[in-house]
Amino acid sequence: MELQEAPNSLKNVRHIILILSGKGGVGKSSVTTQTALSLVNQGFNVGVLDIDLTGPSLPRMFGVESKQVHQSTLGWVPVSVYNDPASPRGNLSLMSLGFLLGNRNNSVVWRGPKKTAMIRQFLKDVVWGTDDIPLDYLLIDTPPGTSDEHIAIAEELRWAQPDGAMIVTTPQQVSTADVRKEINFCKKVGFNVLGIVENMSGFICPHCSECTDIFSSGGGKLLSEQLDIEFLGNVPIDPTFVEMVETQNNDVNEKKLVSLYDKSELKPIMAEIVAKVVNKNLPSRLQ
Considering the complex, state which of residue 79 and residue 135 has its C-beta at the smaller distance from other proteins: 79
Q: Which range in 18-26, 76-84, 132-140, 255-263 contacts other proteins by CB under 8 A?
A: 18-26
Q: For residue 211, say whether it is annotated as part of any ligand binding site.
A: no
Q: For residue 23, say whether it is annotated as part of any ligand binding site.
A: yes
User: In the set 68, 71, 130, 147, which binds other proteins (CB under 8 A)?
Assistant: 147
Measured distance CA(283)–CA(287) in Å, rounded? 9
Q: For residue 276, say whether it is annotated as part of any ligand binding site.
A: no
Tell me how far, at minimum, the Cβ of 15 lies from other proteins, in Å.
Answer: 25
Measured distance CA(99)–CA(132) in Å, rounded? 26
Cα 4 to chain centroid distance, Å, stands at: 26
246 binds other proteins (CB under 8 A): yes
222 binds other proteins (CB under 8 A): no
User: In the set 72, 105, 279, 287, which binds other proteins (CB under 8 A)?
Assistant: 105
**Cross-strand bridge partners of residue 234:** 198
Considering the complex, state which of residue 2 and residue 254 has its C-beta at the smaller distance from other proteins: 2
Binding region for other proteins (CB under 8 A): 22-26, 29, 54-55, 57, 60-61, 104-117, 143-148, 150-151, 170, 172-175, 177-178, 180-185, 188-189, 203, 205-208, 210, 212-216, 237, 239, 242-243, 245-247
Question: Which residues define the annotated binding site for [4Fe-4S] cluster?
Answer: 205, 208
Question: Which residues define the annotated binding site?
Answer: 22-29, 205, 208
